[in-house]
Amino acid sequence: MQHIERSIFDLRRGLPVIVRSPEGDRLVAPIENLASELFASLPALTGRQPQLILTRHRLARLGIDVDDEQARLPLDATDSREDVIRWACSPAANLSAQRIQSDTGAGDRAAVHLMQRGLLIPAALTVAIGAEQSQALDQRVAEQEWLSVTADDIAAYGRDGARLKRVSEADVPLEHAEHSRFVIFREADGMREHVAILIGNAAQWPDPVPVRLHSACLTGDLFGSLRCDCGPQLRASVAAIARRGGGVLLYLAQEGRGIGLANKMRAYHLQDEGLDTIDADQVLGFGEDERNYNVALDMLGQLDITHIDLLTNNPSKLDALNQSGIEVARRSGIYGRLTPQNARYLNTKASRNGHWLDALLAEP
């Protein structure tokens, strides 16, 4: 697993990696931090022209429907680095559907998965490596200048990388819940840590146990951003669980509905230009919600919690938790506050994500 983690960090630095798959080796480069020199050198390094791999969400935004999760755009010598970046994530891009080919291979799919796991723009440049160039690139790998990984290992990493280990815990008195204990869970790859906040005395918790899943929001939780209702919702959840006699709040490292802080800021910029949250994420290549709640299921399992009262307005959380030995016996709404700055955001969650927010949005 360590070589997959190292490849993700290299991609975040703008370095290419080699992905090996049954259909042949590919040099993979990220769109973010794509150096002009690297882009210009790709044909000479590989003996082939690169192609741009885009998600179906990005292509849908460009008016192109595909059946698979990704499709490829073969590039030619006249396509510039600026063209590639525009096609990957610009709201003003135009692209002919005739140029798109849907037959992506395992290496191409693995490349996009690496970008997603690294919280990068979910698009990748991939180039098949010609026989004449393979020895020189293998030498770079041998000298540890570049890394190589297999598509099979990347797929296995996608299945196993989020497994959690309980690593530390301590009492942390909170303003609305003085008797609270923080339990830290670390994903197997070491990249993310999630927190279970145990409120009250576990031996005296009600049945079903009040549980809240709260995805991290730096801007709202810490700085009090008015663009969302996350901070008030977080504090209301802690207070509600304490009033009910205790329970658990899972604080999940899934900023920006799973796209990461940098992409969240990109999406905010697009929202300032008139897009709603879902359309802004789609421009960047993401779906309407990139979160994965398997980590929550793992945390609850390790805490021996199986019968819960879920504090949520989100039907996706209800569906995700009502499985794998967890029974959602009851759902309770939990609200932040409506402001002029977050009204469009909340209305989008209600109208396009199906969140149960009628009571909040009905406020005068």
DSSP label of 101 = B
For residue 329, the SS3 value is strand
Axis crossing angle, helix 106-117 with helix 2-12, rounded to the nearest 10: 70
Q: How many H helices and E strands in the chain? A: 15, 13
CA distance 355 to 338: 14
Measuring CA to CA, which residue among 9, 16, 14, 4 is closest to residue 145? 16
- Residues forming beta bridges with residue 193, ordered by sequence position: 186
Q: Which residue, 196, 155, 149, is CA-closest to 2? A: 149
Token reading at 311: 């504090």
pLDDT tens-digit series, residues 37-86: 999 999 999 999 999 999 999 999 999 999 999 999 999 999 999 999 99
Q: What is the pLDDT of residues 282-321, one digit of tens each?
A: 999 999 999 989 999 999 999 999 999 999 999 989 888 9
Sheet containing 26-30: order of strands: 70-74, 51-55, 124-128, 26-30, 17-20, 148-150
Please write the tens of the pLDDT for every residue from 7-36. 999 999 999 999 999 989 999 999 999 999
**Could you tell me the pLDDT band of residue 108, with boundaries at 50, 70 and 90?**
very high
> Do the beta carbons of residue 193 and residue 184 sit within 8 Å?
yes
**To 5 degrees, how large is the angle CA 199–CA 201–CA 204?**
120
Sheet of 247-252: strand order equals 164-171, 180-187, 193-199, 247-252, 209-215, 307-311, 327-332
Question: For the CA atoms of the chain, what is the radius of gyration?
Answer: 22
Q: Catalytic residue among 72, 117, 212, 291, which? A: 291
Quick check: 113 pLDDT over 90? Answer: yes
Task: Give burial (CB, 10 Å; 0-12/13-18/19+) of 58.
Answer: buried
Closest CA to 211 of 330, 105, 71: 330
State yes or no: is 304 an active-site residue.
no
Query: What pLDDT is stored for residue 162 in this prediction?
Result: 60
Which residue segments constitute the domains of the chain, with CATH numbers given? Answer: 2-159 (3.90.870.10), 163-254+291-361 (3.40.50.10990)
Mean pLDDT, the chain, rounded, equals: 92
Q: Is the pLDDT of residue 276 over 70?
A: yes
Is the pTM higher than 0.75? The answer reads yes
Spot the catalytic one: 221, 289, 298, 309.
Answer: 289
Under the banding of pLDDT at 50, 70 and 90, the label for residue 160 is low
Catalytic (active site) residue 291: yes
Does the pLDDT value for residue 257 go beyond 60? yes
- Number of Cβ within a 10 Å radius of residue 33: 13
